[in-house]
Amino acid sequence: MYSSIIISVASIGLAVLFYSQASAYPLAASRLPMLLAWAVGGLATLVIVEELFKARRRNKIAQAAPEAAPAPDDNAVLDSAMIPPILEAEDEGPKPIVWSAALPFAAGIIAYVTLIPYVGYLLVTPVFIALGLAISGTLRWVPAILVALGMTALVWVVFIWALYMPIQLVPAFFE
Amino acid sequence: METSFIAIGFANALTPTNLMFMTLGTALGLMVGALPGLSATMALALLLPLTFSLPPETGLCMLASLYLAAMYGGSIAAILLRTPGTPAAAATLLDGFPMASRGEAGRALGISLTSSLVGGIISGIALLTIAPFLGKLVLLFGPVELFAIAVLGITMIGTLAKGSPMKGLLAGALGLLLAMVGMDPTTGTARFTAGNINLFSGVPFTVALIGLFSIPQAIALAEQARGKQPRPAQISDRVIPRLPEFLRLLPNSMRSAVIGVVTGLIPGTGGDTASWFAYNEAKRFAKDKSRFGKGDPAGVAAPEAANNAVVGGALVPTIALGIPGSSATAVLLGGLMVHGILPGPTLLTDYGDVTYTLIWAILLANIPLFLLGLLFTRFSVIVMRVPRMAVAVAIVVMSIVGSFAINNNLFDVWLMLGFGLLGYIFERAGIPTAPMVIGLVLGMLLDVSLNQSLLIGRGNWGIFLESKISLVLLAIAALSILQATPFFRLVFGRFGRRKAVPQAGTMAGDS
């Protein structure tokens, strides 16, 4: 619930920013952006209302019968008209974030992209892959390094050797 | 003219280079489909940069065959692992996995492959016949009608997207808003660029696609990396189905294929919806319904024929109207856009040779799919053993190199990661990303047609109500938005509940 509300509030902020900037543009350039800013603002407000409405109803149900199973929300009711019951059992809704895995992985991606211009693709890519495979416990260090070298070579063959992509290959100070 | 385009397209699709790339696309699609957690859209987005250096028709042949093959590939994981390889294969596991459990994995996969073939052929024929007909009709449309079609497209995709319709609409509107970044096509004003020269040509659609579809899946795989990897069931029996069984399942496959084509025609619905519809219908038509869910071959044939048939159906609005029916077809449209071929009614006229090659590729890709499917199916057990973290890091490396390849610019890589983060947050908040992608595609069309329409109407917004087609389309769009609001459901829900009270009473009495 909170994630949807936070995204909706951020969307309203973006709409306000786009609207204020668009007001300085010529009419033909500002017409659709201003219209869309209103649409985003309105829809985001409706999502917030919907989320609060659902939360209120969930609370009411929980207070009335705490031992009973939670009632399906509006979407589940709508969906159930179309989808066989077996899917409802499969559909568990949005999964929670596993911070302990997602955060280091995301940090690794950011570090990888940051380092490419300085350290070069040929050095930083196998390091990123090997660290990912070894630290996660997927492979031991030696196989992880071998897999990393193989994958780097494959991407190099396809994108750089065959497609002539001008990416920084070696550390900048070597050039 | 059209006949010559059909002939050119056929000849183009049959060149040795294009056939080779079709086979390559099929092999990649089978592998991606067989790996749980990877979608056809993600594979298409990742491979899009590879097509830059290829002629447009060759690139499209590869992407089309990959799309088709990933649909079948999804069933391999569903049958052998009880985890659908793609969302469209979710219905297949209900009967596919019980068949595999009793040692009939090969038979289930063979039925899945032949049904996919039937679905793919029917969808290709439908695409080849419906799209040109609709394309001719659309040539009569002016900017007013095009604006209305684009509005209807985005509202339908938003409201029919998985989850809350309000969230779908919000994602679509955000996509449209982000499409406004860059030079305004009418006045040349740089909009919302914050002075950054990299944004003057707008948000690169391909970059956004790669980020939205690849990075969230890579992070999700990394999250599951420490979990136990399921072991696939063994294939010990024959994969090629016997002729009597194929013929017995043929009416079911053909009916399901028609369901798939029709479902695909509706923007916003995809292979998953079609496969559930087809599964339901197969069960309804079955003499012994109790066998469904316990390993009935008809329960494998129906969803597989339907999800492959969706491919052609979803491409009809994409090709005829320039409005992608799903996120995967949006990527295929992106494949055209990177070669300077803009979406819209001119796809079948000005770019007829390329577009008809794509249509023929959808039909002809069924041949390598069937042949490689027979060869690959046993090998797929090995692919499914690839550790999740290895797939996750491979996706990240491919995404980064692929997004860099678009403009040879590191800014695009950061932009891709930004969209990736956005896609991940959206996914975890239950907000669909497909409407945002469609919004990004349709933004420019909407902007240009709006300004052209208002020029024709001399600034009068009433121009949109003067055309009957536009009026009807905008009324449907307004209704679809209205039905998505909580107030509408509140009012009609109360009305419905009031009517349902006596029925509820009867049920209570029965118990």
What is the tens place of the pLDDT at every residue in B223-270? 888 777 777 777 778 888 889 999 999 999 999 999 999 888 887 667
**Is A84 in Cβ contact with B280 (below 8 Å)?**
yes
**B16-34 helix and B56-81 helix, angle to the nearest 10 degrees:** 30
- pLDDT class for A145, splitting at 50, 70, 90? very high
Highest mean pLDDT among A37-41, B140-144, B242-246, B473-477: A37-41
**Is B446 in Cβ contact with A32 (below 8 Å)?**
yes
Tell me the chain B residues in contact with residue A6 when contact means C-beta distances shorter than 8 Å: 429
Rounded to an integer, what distance in angstroms lies between the CA atom of residue B110 and that of residue B246?
Answer: 9
**Region for A44 from its dihedrals, namely left if φ exceeds 0, alpha if ψ lies in -120 to 50, beta otherwise:** alpha
pLDDT of residue A43 exceeding 60, the answer is yes
pLDDT of residue B510 exceeding 60, the answer is no
Mean pLDDT of B210-230: 85
- pLDDT class for B114, splitting at 50, 70, 90? very high
Nearest to A136 among B226, B402, B493 (CB): B226
Spatial CA neighbour of B433 closest among B272, B216, B264, B266:
B216
Spatial CA neighbour of B436 closest among B420, B417, B450, B452:
B420
Tell me the chain B residues in contact with residue A49 when contact means C-beta distances shorter than 8 Å: 486
**Is B410 in Cβ contact with A113 (below 8 Å)?**
yes
pLDDT in tens, A60-86: 888 886 555 554 444 443 344 344 433
Q: Over pLDDT 90: what percentage of chain B?
A: 29
Spatial CA neighbour of B32 closest among B60, B59, B81, B69:
B69
pLDDT in tens, B126-146: 988 888 887 777 777 888 988
CA B70 to chain centre: 11
**B434-456 helix and B165-179 helix, angle to the nearest 10 degrees:** 60
pLDDT of residue A173 exceeding 50, the answer is yes
Size of chain A, expressed as the number of residues it contains: 175
pLDDT for position B487: 67
Tell me the chain B residues in contact with residue A93 when contact means C-beta distances shorter than 8 Å: 430
pLDDT of residue B150 exceeding 80, the answer is yes
pLDDT for position B293: 87
Query: Strand, helix or coil at B251?
Result: helix
Please provide the average confidence, as pLDDT, over all residues in chain B.
85
Rounded to an integer, what distance in angstroms lies between the CA atom of residue B28 and that of residue B95?
Answer: 26
Residue-wise burial string across B448-476, b where 16 or more C-beta atoms lie within 10 A, e elsewhere: bbbbbbbeeeeeeeebbeebeebeebbee
Q: Which residue of A has its CA nearest to B387?
A: A138
Rounded to an integer, what distance in angstroms lies between the CA atom of residue A99 and that of residue A107?
Answer: 11
**Is B164 in Cβ contact with A128 (below 8 Å)?**
no
Neighbour count for residue A125 (Cβ, 10 Å) = 28
pLDDT for position B323: 80
Q: Report residue A121 as tokens.
A: 């693709």
Question: Which of A41-50, A102-111, A131-140, B79-88 comes out lowest in average pLDDT?
Answer: B79-88
CA dihedral (B449, B451, B453, B457) in degrees, to 10, reads 180
Mean pLDDT of B204-212: 88
Minimal C-alpha gap between A66 and chain B (Å): 22
**Is A22 in Cβ contact with B191 (below 8 Å)?**
yes
pLDDT of residue B98 exceeding 70, the answer is yes
| Residue of B462 and A81 predicted with greater confidence | B462
pLDDT of residue B424 exceeding 90, the answer is yes
| Residue of A15 and B3 predicted with greater confidence | A15
Q: Please give the DSSP secondary-structure letter assigned to residue B88.
A: G
Tell me the chain B residues in contact with residue A1 when contact means C-beta distances shorter than 8 Å: none
| Residue of A113 and B48 predicted with greater confidence | A113
**Is B166 in Cβ contact with A43 (below 8 Å)?**
yes
Spatial CA neighbour of B324 closest among B265, B250, B395, B263:
B265
Tell me the chain A residues in contact with residue B222 when contact means C-beta distances shorter than 8 Å: 101-102, 105, 132, 136
**Is B427 in Cβ contact with A139 (below 8 Å)?**
no
- pLDDT class for B40, splitting at 50, 70, 90? confident
Place of tokens 């990177």: B338
pLDDT for position B2: 65
- Tell me the C-alpha to C-alpha distance, in Å, between residue B230 and each of A87, B233, B295, B390: 21, 9, 20, 15
**Is B167 in Cβ contact with A112 (below 8 Å)?**
no
Q: Which of B147, B177, B203, B399 is the best mutation test for A, with the most CBs of A within 10 A?
A: B177
Tell me the chain B residues in contact with residue A109 when contact means C-beta distances shorter than 8 Å: 215, 396, 400, 417
Tell me the chain A residues in contact with residue B396 when contact means C-beta distances shorter than 8 Å: 109, 112, 128
**Is A159 in Cβ contact with B401 (below 8 Å)?**
yes
pLDDT in tens, B310-357: 988 888 888 888 788 778 888 888 888 877 787 777 777 888 888 889
Q: Which residue of B has its CA nearest to A106?
A: B219
**Is B401 in Cβ contact with A113 (below 8 Å)?**
no
Residue B183 sits at φ, ψ, to 5 deg, of: -65, 130
- pLDDT class for A175, splitting at 50, 70, 90? low
Half-sphere exposure of B295 (CA within 13 A, CB side): 13
Helix (H) or strand (E) holding A160: none
pLDDT of residue A27 exceeding 70, the answer is yes
Rounded to an integer, what distance in angstroms lies between the CA atom of residue B233 and that of residue B240?
Answer: 18
Q: Over pLDDT 70: what percentage of chain B?
A: 93
Neighbour count for residue A26 (Cβ, 10 Å) = 12
- Contact by Cβ (8 Å): B95, B293: yes
Question: Which of B359-363, B452-456, B499-503, B504-508 comes out lowest in average pLDDT?
Answer: B504-508
**Is A7 in Cβ contact with B429 (below 8 Å)?**
yes
**Is A3 in Cβ contact with B429 (below 8 Å)?**
yes
pLDDT for position B211: 92
CA B378 to chain centre: 27
pLDDT for position B497: 53
Please provide the average confidence, as pLDDT, over all residues in chain A.
81
Query: Strand, helix or coil at B191?
Result: strand
Q: Which of B97, B228, B386, B389 is the best mutation test for A, with the most CBs of A within 10 A?
A: B389
- Contact by Cβ (8 Å): B35, B391: yes
What is the residue type of B31?
Answer: M
pLDDT of residue B205 exceeding 70, the answer is yes
**Is B90 in Cβ contact with A28 (below 8 Å)?**
no
**Region for B195 from its dihedrals, namely left if φ exceeds 0, alpha if ψ lies in -120 to 50, beta otherwise:** left
Q: Which of A109, A115, A160 is the best mutation test for B, with the most CBs of B within 10 A?
A: A109
Q: How many helices (H) and strands (E) does chain A have?
A: 7, 0
- pLDDT class for B88, splitting at 50, 70, 90? confident
